[in-house]
Amino acid sequence: MSGSMSGAARHQSVFDGWTARLFAGDRRALARAITAVENETTEAPAVLAAIHPRLGRARIVGFTGAPGAGKSTLVNAYIKELRRRGRTVGVVAVDPSSPISGGAILGDRIRMADHAGDPGVFVRSLAARGHLGGLSRTAARVIDVMDAAGRDYVVVETVGTGQSEVEIADLAHTKVVVCAPGLGDGIQAVKAGILEIADVLVVNKGDLPLAAAAANQLTEAARLNAGGTRPVPVLTTVATTGEGVAALAEAVEAHLAEGGGPRMAPLQRARRLVAALAAQRLKRRLAEAADPRLDALCQSALRGEIGFDEAAARALELLAGGGR
Amino acid sequence: MSGSMSGAARHQSVFDGWTARLFAGDRRALARAITAVENETTEAPAVLAAIHPRLGRARIVGFTGAPGAGKSTLVNAYIKELRRRGRTVGVVAVDPSSPISGGAILGDRIRMADHAGDPGVFVRSLAARGHLGGLSRTAARVIDVMDAAGRDYVVVETVGTGQSEVEIADLAHTKVVVCAPGLGDGIQAVKAGILEIADVLVVNKGDLPLAAAAANQLTEAARLNAGGTRPVPVLTTVATTGEGVAALAEAVEAHLAEGGGPRMAPLQRARRLVAALAAQRLKRRLAEAADPRLDALCQSALRGEIGFDEAAARALELLAGGGR
């Protein structure tokens, strides 16, 4: 039979072979599938079509926070805890620093060292692509591949600044925000707006003198912010020793279980991403447009004849109606 | 004549009186005008109409950075330097923390203490309004009032995380990003994406042991990021002693002078803000929409039949064409 097989059919057969290995949990197949979607190779469409029916099983946990909070160390400790519980883990480390650090590769090496030889942990770092939304788009695809490959958990680690990371955090079912006492007190953390995006708040470096004070401030802030509803839990960890990490895993489980609503389906995730990318397009288009009607709206807003909100609503109408 | 004056005319006359004082630099008139636009009182439209012809003279300098970098102290030192040069200053401190800290009022008090009795410095802190874009909208108005009131410089201080602050930074002619050596090394700072938004990079707390290393790393990162063009300048300051602050002021002047393009006109600023607000509206609308055509696009993207970019472009078309 192999003698009569056409080239295309043979290619298909080879492909079927390695996607079968992908779904069986084979690491090399997983690496190949991720590379395909990350680099948008000719194999990418076939990979995406193959994984599509298998999406939606993995729990996606996002970690974010300011540089210096010990986030990577905590993610490593959390992964160890998940492994102790018998879960398989995929890790997507989002690192918008490619121009200088070669951070993607370096990051993989550092992180892999901790889990080297453990087939239950698969790490991939992603570097920025230099265009708007490129990173969140790639991250969404890589998360999907890990999900389809049967990883129980996909842990997404992002650096907590800038727009694209906020959107990447949106892809997670549960968002953990990591603070450190040395990085300013609870008030400072609250100023940074993290209460709005966190499902679980962690004060890492809990062995530092100011940790308890920071945790107290954050707890109080979370209580006030919740305004009578259940506040975001605040935990203290020492990532380097593993202290508090089991409690963190429990808090994540609790949030996943209650869900803050049902767990986000792949379609809903895709819709958020498409909405974010469309919004970026619109923003660019409007900011660069030389449309006298838009300028008239802006002048009206500057003169106080209409509010900026009203101007924005009318700008959207301009686009929608072509000038009604 | 006053006996025959109608109520409306009298109101107008009183208003003319205090806007005249506003333009003459009167602090109480400035406070009243800012309160009007901040709280959107019935006086707000008249204030905005009155200031409109006087916009575009102030230099707007934005300071951002992670909590704990000593940003507020540096802003204070920079203000002192501007005063030493005979410039008048308005300060807009953006603080998305209102639910707990009462941060706005507290912030004003702390900052005012340093410049108490100096009519050349006027500080206003803004608290978040709890809805998307509320803060950037308010900040834009308050900057305009300070501009029209004749402040030579308007300094905008924001906490460096989250989307709305990125937009507020967009309102400035020159953006200063403040780092501290204790907050992670240069690579970490680069990971946070700050090279993309900074016009001037500052390593504050320059008396700490790791400051020189951090500055070297950032300088190298900036050089590589610039790819042959002129890199973003990297400066070291000790805000608590004032060391390096004059050099910072010079770097800001140099950027304002060369402009990275011409100084942004009020219309251009308004257009950016309207574009950002319209994009937020669109994002919300698309993410919440129950539109089967949008869901079909997202399914196509998930299956890899089209890219997420393509899906986003078509989603915009859906909106624009009403379904063509």
Among positive and negative, which fits the CA dihedral B184, B186, B191, B194? positive
The number of helix segments (H) and strand segments (E) in chain A equals 15, 7
Mean pLDDT, residues B135-160 taken together: 87
Report the C-alpha gap between A238 and A107 in whole angstroms.
21
Report residue B131 as tokens: 């809805």
Identify the band that residue A254 occupies on the pLDDT scale cut at 50, 70 and 90.
very high
Identify the band that residue A13 occupies on the pLDDT scale cut at 50, 70 and 90.
low
Q: How far is the alpha carbon of B117 from chain A, nearest alpha carbon, in Å?
A: 28
Bridge-based pairing of strands B121-127 and B153-157 is unpaired
Reported as type and span, the H/E element at residue A284 is helix A266-288
Average pLDDT in chain B? 79
Identify the band that residue B300 occupies on the pLDDT scale cut at 50, 70 and 90.
very high
Identify the band that residue B34 occupies on the pLDDT scale cut at 50, 70 and 90.
very high
Mean pLDDT, residues A239-257 taken together: 95
Report the C-alpha gap between B172 and B184 in whole angstroms.
26
Instruction: Answer with the residue of higher pLDDT: B262 or A267.
Output: A267
The whole-number pLDDT of residue A101 equals 32
Bridge-based pairing of strands B89-95 and B59-65 is unpaired
pLDDT in tens, A89-98: 999 887 654 3
- Spatial neighbors of B114 by CB under 8 A, at least 6 apart, are B76, B79, B80
pLDDT higher than 60, residue B164: no
The whole-number pLDDT of residue A189 equals 54
pLDDT in tens, A145-176: 999 999 999 999 876 544 444 566 678 889 89
Determine whether the interchain pair B278/A316 forms a contact, defined as Cβ–Cβ distance below 8 Å: yes
B47, B55, B281 ranked by CB distance to A313: nearest: B281
Identify the band that residue A139 occupies on the pLDDT scale cut at 50, 70 and 90.
confident
- Contacting residues of A for B273, CB less than 8 Å apart: 308
Q: Does B105 touch chain A (CB under 8 A)?
A: no
pLDDT higher than 80, residue B315: yes
Among positive and negative, which fits the CA dihedral B139, B140, B145, B147? positive
* Residue B48 Cα to chain centre, angstroms: 19
Q: How far is the alpha carbon of B53 from chain A, nearest alpha carbon, in Å?
A: 9
Q: Does B34 touch chain A (CB under 8 A)?
A: no
- Give the single-character DSSP code of A233: P
Determine whether the interchain pair B311/A277 forms a contact, defined as Cβ–Cβ distance below 8 Å: yes
Report residue A159 as tokens: 């650096």
Mean pLDDT, residues B299-310 taken together: 89
Select from A38, A183, A308 the residue whose CB has the most chain B CBs within 10 Å, as the one to mutate to test that interface: A308
- Contacting residues of B for A49, CB less than 8 Å apart: 303-305
Bridge-based pairing of strands B174-179 and B59-65 is parallel
Beta bridge partners of A126: A94
Select from B19, B283, B324 the residue whose CB has the most chain A CBs within 10 Å, as the one to mutate to test that interface: B283
Q: What is the ipTM, given to two decimal places?
A: 0.74
Q: Does B224 touch chain A (CB under 8 A)?
A: yes
Query: 3-state DSSP call for residue B122?
Result: strand
Query: 3-state DSSP call for residue B238?
Result: strand
- Contacting residues of A for B281, CB less than 8 Å apart: 312-313, 316
The whole-number pLDDT of residue B13 equals 63
Identify the band that residue B177 occupies on the pLDDT scale cut at 50, 70 and 90.
confident
Lowest mean per-residue pLDDT among A233-242, B54-63, B127-136: B127-136
Report residue B301 as tokens: 């993207």
Lowest mean per-residue pLDDT among A275-279, B50-54, B149-153, B184-188: B184-188
pLDDT in tens, B284-293: 888 777 789 9
Q: Does A298 touch chain B (CB under 8 A)?
A: yes
* B residues 61-100 lying closer than 8 A (beta carbon) to A: 66-68, 95-97, 99-100
Report the C-alpha gap between A125 and A130 in whole angstroms.
16
The whole-number pLDDT of residue A247 equals 98
Side-chain half-sphere of A137: how many Cα atoms within 13 Å? 27
Q: Does A39 touch chain B (CB under 8 A)?
A: no
Report the C-alpha gap between A203 and A217 in whole angstroms.
11
Lowest mean per-residue pLDDT among A267-271, B66-70, B213-217: B66-70
pLDDT higher than 50, residue B241: yes
Size of interface A-B (CB pairs under 8 A): 289
Reported as type and span, the H/E element at residue A21 is helix A7-23
Q: Are B60 and B68 in contact (CB under 8 A)?
A: no
The whole-number pLDDT of residue B139 equals 87
Identify the band that residue B168 occupies on the pLDDT scale cut at 50, 70 and 90.
low
Query: 3-state DSSP call for residue A34?
Result: helix
B97, B166, B319 ranked by CB distance to A162: nearest: B166
Q: Are A213 and A185 in contact (CB under 8 A)?
A: yes
pLDDT higher than 80, residue A249: yes
B68, B165, B287 ranked by CB distance to A184: nearest: B68
Q: How far is the alpha carbon of A63 from chain B, nearest alpha carbon, in Å?
A: 14
Q: Can you list the pairs that B286-291 forms with residues at least 24 positions away whose Cβ atoms lie under 8 Å?
A: B286/A271, B286/A274, B286/A275, B286/A278, B286/A279, B286/B315, B286/B319, B287/A271, B287/A272, B287/A275, B291/B318
The whole-number pLDDT of residue B107 equals 47
Report the C-alpha gap between B25 and B149 in whole angstroms.
6
Mean pLDDT, residues A179-184 taken together: 67
Q: Classify the phi-psi angles of B260: left when phi > 0, otherwise alpha if psi is within -120 to 50, otherwise beta.
A: left
Identify the band that residue A181 occupies on the pLDDT scale cut at 50, 70 and 90.
confident
